[in-house]
Amino acid sequence: MNVLVTGATGFVGSRLVPALLAAGHDVRAMSRAPAAYDAPAGVDVVGGDLLDAESLAGAFEGVSAAYYLVHSMGSGPDYAERDRRAARNFAEAASAAGVERVIYLGGLGEEGSDLSDHLRSRREVEAVLAEGKYDLTTLRAAIIVGAGSASFETIRQLVSRLPVMVTPRWVRTPCQPIAIEDVIAYLVSVLDAPETAGETYEIGGPDVLSYGEMMRETARGMGRRPPLILTVPVLTPRLSSYWVWLVTDVDFAVARELIEGLKNPVVVTDDSIHDHVEVERTPFEAAVEQALRPAPRESRAAAGATQ
């Protein structure tokens, strides 16, 4: 199948492209800087910026399915509007080119008005994409565990730098993290399962943990003593964002969105995805071990070329 991947140089996209090739698909990768993208052999690289509709001309031609893996968190206070515009441009270009299927990786979380700004934006993107003239498959995931994940990198840096943490009550919020390898397996598998077209699924690993438990398990995976975590009722998410920003290398805007999102339980409530695809889910402990494993030299070089 001829497949287009947007966000091909990102955390998820850079892993999805070779996985699609390995599954026998013809892959076209879209990048805003195609000359700087060291693509795997056999990948057709095209330039395109989803915020510039004119730049998408021809990018979708001959494509049967497309992946939407783009979001603008951390790009500024107007990131939600940027995401809506990018999704709209994508939907219009894909529809005009006759793309049959679109697969979107969105955010897991309960429906309702209490969603964080970040999760609300992901749902808005999902709604915009659903307006296209193709079958949309949405996979909703919580924290993705892997080297390069902003959420996991925040946890890793916190436990490596703070033996004692004072946190708000969100540290007890339940979450169902998922290994990046499992996310890729789901993304590839639904493409070959036509019955998943037009459907929305929740995906997660086999373990449900609080954020405190994830930090303790990550510390153990790093060979460190688990941090002492003290919860207090007066530490607001905004204050927590400043704290994370000061202690870690994570951008403040990203830290703020991540912390705000921690108020929402993100647990799979519908596992019907397994009626259609088989993925052997990775336990959190093993996912952490894989994420902390040093990357091969060639992988580090490729990653550096696509930042």
DSSP state of 54: G
- Token readout for 270 is 């519908």
Nearest to 91 by CA among 82, 81, 101: 101
CA 132 to chain centre: 22
Q: What is the pLDDT of residue 180?
A: 97
Give, for 5, the enclosing helix (H) or strand (E): strand 2-5
Question: Sorting pLDDT into bands at 50, 70 and 90, what band is 109?
Answer: confident
pLDDT at 304 over 90: no
Nearest to 141 by CA among 95, 99, 190: 190
Q: Please give the Cα distance from 160 to 215 (Å, whole number).
A: 10
With a pLDDT cut of 90, the percent of the chain lying above it is: 60
Strand partners, 266: 175
48, 150, 155, 253, 288 from 249: Cα distances, Å: 30, 10, 11, 12, 19
Question: Sorting pLDDT into bands at 50, 70 and 90, what band is 72?
Answer: low
* Spatial CB neighbours of 303, under 8 Å, sequence gap ≥ 6: 14, 148, 295
pLDDT at 212 over 60: yes
Q: What is the pLDDT of residue 68?
A: 97
Calculate the dihedral angle through the C-alpha atoms of 270, 19, 142, 149, rounding to the nearest 10 degrees.
Answer: 170
Average pLDDT value over all residues in the chain: 86
Within 10 Å of residue 307's Cβ, how many Cβ atoms? Answer: 8
Are 82 and 115 contacting, i.e. CB atoms less than 8 angstroms apart?
A: no
Q: Please give the Cα distance from 109 to 120 (Å, whole number).
A: 9
- Over residues 214-239, the mean pLDDT reads 81
Beta pairing class for 101-107 and 164-167: unpaired
Residues 251-264: tens digit of each pLDDT: 766 666 666 666 77
Widest distance between CA atoms in the chain: 56
Q: What is this structure's pTM?
A: 0.88
Q: Please give the Cα distance from 164 to 158 (Å, whole number).
A: 10
Phi, psi values for residue 302, rounded to 5°: -65, -40
Are 273 and 263 contacting, i.e. CB atoms less than 8 angstroms apart?
A: no
pLDDT at 242 over 80: no
